[in-house]
Structure 1
Amino acid sequence: MAEIIMVRHGQAQTGAKDEASYDKLSDLGHQQAAWLGEYWADKGAVDRVLSGTMRRQIETGQSIGLHGVSYHQDARLNEMDYFGLAAFLKEHGGVPVPSSQEEFQTHVRDVLGAWSRAEVGDELESYADFRGRILDCVREVAARDDRTVIVSSTGVIATLIAVALDLDMARKTDVFLKIAHTSVHRFEIVGDDVRLIQFCATPHLDAPERVSLRTHI
């Protein structure tokens, strides 16, 4: 049995319309990550930080800033191409790009649903391949002897939760929309089984003066 600790990146560029514009942390995102690093530094319980290769993931890993803890990257932890999926559905399905938080919640359901049904063409990464690379990476991490913190993104974390709880896409989307920036999620890997043991913890943001700084978008 091995424990996996996964963290969503800090707040990125809310309101961006493409991946290049979105893919960097806001000032608050850097602060959220720094506070998490301070929390863990007091516990002394992390040996290694591993992130995807996207800028917001790298910046989160760096801003966590644990002294003496090695930092590494693995592209298998990168987020799905949400903007690419959205563009395909707009062009081929007439699904409009959202302009509000309320519209985004509906849009996520449309995008994830179409993607899981393989209705987004052959040029984008398939949902099956996305899921497979996540599980391959996580199982490799689980086989190590050290305590690794994985920094990734909502789609990656929600997919692992869906595997652990055997969620359909509708329920997975509910989870997707509730994952806060720099929230901590813990899993146990037992053989081929993935088990969720902690969801969306934000101990570094639980002080009264920080509660309002929890973000999702």
Structure 2
Amino acid sequence: MATIHLIRHGQASFGDDNYDQLSAIGWQQARVLGQWLAGKVQPDVVIGGDMQRHRETVEAIASGYRTDFPDMQVASGFNEFDHAAVVHRLKPEWADRERMQADLQTAEKPAKFFQQTFVKAVDRWASGDYDSEYPETWLQFKTRVQQALDDLVDWANGGEVFVSTSGGPIAVILQSLLGISDQKTLGLNEVIANTSVTRVLYSGRRRSLAVFNNYSHLEAEGPEMVTFR
């Protein structure tokens, strides 16, 4: 069976004007992953969503991998959901970035406070009770990701595939493989590390989870390299 390597992007630039770009640590994480992958697996196909952090993750992986690395093909079905739209439905005032930053600074632990708010916002989105408020519902998101995976399997035709994507799509794919609930799926999304590798074995329409959330390449560099946002 061939393998699809689902790679979560490197750390994004939380708090910056452009969240979508990789942070300095994000670039380093992806380069380390490229070095770790070199000599272990040769991708036939490299796919990424059309978000900046997906593209930059592939660029950094390629720089660490060094040789014989295919150009990335774009598949927007692997894009993350619009986290800003989801959060702003719960906290409309946070559409004003300065207000959000001010609120976070009042918290004893700003990062933890944001994460708690984010989890509540995602739970609200996934409940299905407020679908009319969102540009893309939870069900639509899951359908989009599953279609992207089906299209990829058909197109890759048994090759080794790298996919640069985000935590949400990876969690949704795991849900389809494991038959778990929405609640457990969202819980998995919270623990997927930046540049972690989840491996899915496939042969035609048959798919099996082989490895989830491997970030040993980061642990080998030091605990400060392991991030989850």
The answer to whether the superposition gives a TM-score over 0.5 is yes
**Cα pair 2:219 2:225 within 8 Å, conserved:** no
Rounded Cα–Cα distance in structure 1 between residues aligned with 2:175 and 2:41: 30
1:38 aligns with 2:38: no
Higher mean C-alpha deviation, range 40-49 or range 79-88: 40-49
The runs of 5 or more residues in structure 1 that have no matched partner are none
Cα pair 2:86 2:134 within 8 Å, conserved: no
- 1:160 maps to which of 163, 173, 178: 173
Distance in 1 (alpha carbons) for counterparts of 2:77 and 2:3: 19
Between the aligned partners of 2:158 and 2:173, the Cα distance in structure 1 is: 21
- CA drift of 1:189 comes to 4.1
Q: Secondary structure in 2 aligned to 1:22?
A: coil
- Asked if structure 1 preserves the Cα contact closer than 8 Å seen for 2:3 and 2:159, the reply is no
RMSD of aligned C-alpha atoms?
2.4
Distance apart, 1:177 and its partner CA: 1.1
Which deviates further from its counterpart, 77-86 or 37-46?
A: 37-46
* 1:215 counterpart = 2:212: no
Runs (4+) of structure 1 moved beyond 6 Å?
none
For residue 120 of structure 1, report the CA deviation from its aligned partner. 4.3
Which of the residues 121, 136, 139 maps onto 1:125? 136
User: In 2, are the aligned partners of 1:139 and 1:189 still within 8 Å (CA)?
Assistant: no
2:90 match: 89
- 2-structure distance, mates of 1:111, 1:165: 24
The structural deviation recorded for 1:125 is: 0.9
Q: Which has the higher helix share?
A: 2
Match of 1:69 in 2: 69
Aligned twin of 1:26: 23
Cα distance, 1:194–1:86 mapped onto 2, change above 3 Å = farther
Task: Read off the aligned partner of 1:33 and give its amino acid letter.
Answer: A
The alpha carbon displacement at 1:22 in A equals: 0.6
Which residue of the partner structure matches residue 195 of structure 2? 182
Equivalenced residue count is 210
Q: Does structure 2 retain, via aligned residues, the 8 Å contact 1:6–1:151? A: yes
Distance 2:189 2:223 in 1: 20
Distance change >3 Å, CA 170–CA 108, structure 1 → 2: farther
One-letter identity of the residue aligned with 1:195: S
Match of 2:96 in 1: none
1:21 offset after TM fit, Å? 1.9
How far is the alpha carbon of 1:194 from its aligned partner?
A: 4.6
TM-score by length of 2: 0.82
The corresponding residue for 1:173 is: 186
Deviations 1:162-187 (A, max 9, x none): 22222223222221111100000012
SS in 2 for 1:3: strand
TM-score if structure 1 supplies the norm length? 0.86
CA distance in 1, matches of 2:134, 2:189: 24
Structure 1 residues 128-147: aligned runs within 5 Å = 128-143=139-154, 144-147=157-160
Asked whether the 8 Å contact 1:25–1:59 carries over to 2, the reply is yes
Q: Look up the match of 2:214.
A: 201
